[in-house]
Amino acid sequence: MSAFMSAFASLVGSLADLLQPLFHTASTAAAIVLFTALVRLAVHPLSRAAARGQKARTRLQPKIAAVREKHARNPERMRKALAELHAAEKVSPLSGCLPSLLQAPAFFLLYHLFSSARIGGEPNALLGHRLFETPLGTRWYDLAGEGGAFGAQGLVHLALFVIVAAVATFSYGHTKRQMAAHPMTPATGPDGRPVPGMDAITGLMPLMSFMTLFTVAFVPLAAALYVVTSTTWTAIERACLYRDLTAPGTPVTAAV
């Protein structure tokens, strides 16, 4: 693990050196943003596949509702019929999870890199790199404990909070429009009855974007930059890939 982290630190350092003529003292922060963009670009084909899967599942909603109604008294037969329906339509209920799962290692690498005092037995020089007045290893809640959360070092985090709030508000509106235009069939348990509490969870889904505010407050600034860049990318990507799911009565196209 130590050798791997050393290699990753070298990668970040090399990207920073490449960007130094343009960004000067903020070159390491710019390298993190570039690294995030490269990760998201690599995952984009999976995001497109997830969008196709979501649209296919939306088209299947009337058939799913019919199967559940037909086999409401036979949960085992319902599960089998639903599995057969998904297999026949080549739709995976879990396809939308892959992009998020594959991004997680990149986030944890940055988190660990900028949380470690030593890398490969040597002092971690990256911790001293800054974005304006703020070291990239600084957490906002640490500044809050020292009374400096709204000082010069805290301003960078506050700017990230504003960006996250704006992106979350945009995502909230987009998700609400999508859910209103194409309501999902309520989830049911093995007995064919609605799962208790699922209505509440579904109602909270549009608000999940705002959870990023807590992440930004409690991770090192470098990891927060990854989160903010990735969240912004996601909002723009979803607005493009799911644009035909936000208009009521609009047929859902198969190709993305």
Banded pLDDT at 94 (limits 50, 70, 90):
low
Tokens found for residue 118: 């030593």
Across-strand partners of 188? Answer: 194
Tokens found for residue 52: 């196709």
Query: Which comes out higher in pLDDT, residue 210 or 197?
Result: 210
5 close to 113: Cβ distance less than 8 angstroms: yes
Note the pLDDT tens digit of each residue in 99-157.
Answer: 778 788 999 999 999 999 988 888 998 988 999 888 999 998 887 655 566 777 788 98
Measured CA angle at 89 (ends 62, 84), to 5 deg: 85
Residue/partner pairs of 177-182 with CB below 8 Å, 24 or more apart? 177/246, 178/242, 178/245, 178/246, 179/205, 179/206, 180/248, 181/245, 181/246, 181/247, 181/248, 181/249, 181/250, 182/58, 182/61, 182/245, 182/252
Query: Which comes out higher in pLDDT, residue 26 or 142?
Result: 26
Smallest CA-to-CA distance from 31 within 8, 7, 15 is with 15
Residues 172, 123: Cα–Cα separation, whole Å: 42
**Average pLDDT over the chain, rounded to whole?**
80
Percent of the chain having pLDDT more than 70?
78
Residues 130, 25: Cα–Cα separation, whole Å: 7
33 close to 229: Cβ distance less than 8 angstroms: yes
At 122, phi and psi to the nearest 5?
A: -115, 150
Instruction: Tell me which residue has tokens 């570039």.
Output: 34
In angstroms, the first-to-last Cα distance of the chain is 39
pLDDT of residue 256: 42
CA 161 and chain centroid, separation: 16
Percent of the chain having pLDDT more than 90?
34
18 close to 32: Cβ distance less than 8 angstroms: no
Measured CA angle at 130 (ends 125, 19), to 5 deg: 85
| Three-state secondary-structure class, residue 131 | strand
pLDDT of residue 205: 60
Tokens found for residue 225: 């930059």
pLDDT of residue 189: 45
DSSP, res 244: G
Note the pLDDT tens digit of each residue in 34-67.
Answer: 999 999 999 998 888 888 877 777 777 788 778 8
pTM, two decimals, is: 0.79
- CA dist list (Å): 196 to 137, 187, 193, 199, 233: 42, 9, 9, 8, 34
The widest CA-to-CA distance across the chain, in whole angstroms, is 69
Smallest CA-to-CA distance from 16 within 235, 222, 253, 229 is with 222
pLDDT at position 229 over 60: yes
Q: Note the helical H segments in the chain.
A: 2-23, 27-70, 75-88, 98-113, 140-145, 154-181, 198-204, 212-218, 221-241
Mean pLDDT of 237-252: 68
